[in-house]
Amino acid sequence: MNGSDASAPLSITTDDLSLAIDGVRMEVRATGDRVFVEVPTALAALRLARRLPNGLETTGPTRFLLATGLTTEIRVRGRTVLVLGSTARPGPLARRLGVAPAEVRLAGLVGAGWSGLSAAVDAVRRLLG
């Protein structure tokens, strides 16, 4: 399914929602059949993904997302790093990291990691300069 699929059983729209899991605060927004969760760091996103319950293919969040035609994108610094739900296509990397049936977006992880490293370097420069 994609964002323009009018046949999705459930549609969500939000602009100002946040949630916290294990002390990690995340901003949430949604448009139609896609929910975007902004996690502060790539490590926090991976840690949260690895905490998803076993049997995720048939129970819990994935079952709900598939039944409702929804997809959740986990994003770090504006880059999608994990996709879970009706449009997720897990590959070898997701299985290796233990997050399947989520799809891992390697380019998103690299970009988010680089952006985080750049921000940390800039913060140190400001402190020292």
Report the alpha-carbon angle 14-109-104, nearest 5: 75
Distance CA 109, CA 41 (A): 10
> Please, are residues 72 and 32 in contact by the beta-carbon 8 Å criterion?
no
If one counts every other C-beta atom within 10 angstroms of the C-beta of residue 83, the result is 23
> pTM for the complete prediction?
0.78
| Per-domain residue ranges of the chain | 12-128
Instruction: Specify the pLDDT at position 52.
Output: 67
- SS3 for 34? strand
> Rounded mean pLDDT of 90-100?
86
Model pLDDT for residues 9-45, shown as the tens digit of each residue: 778 888 789 988 888 899 999 988 999 999 998 788 7
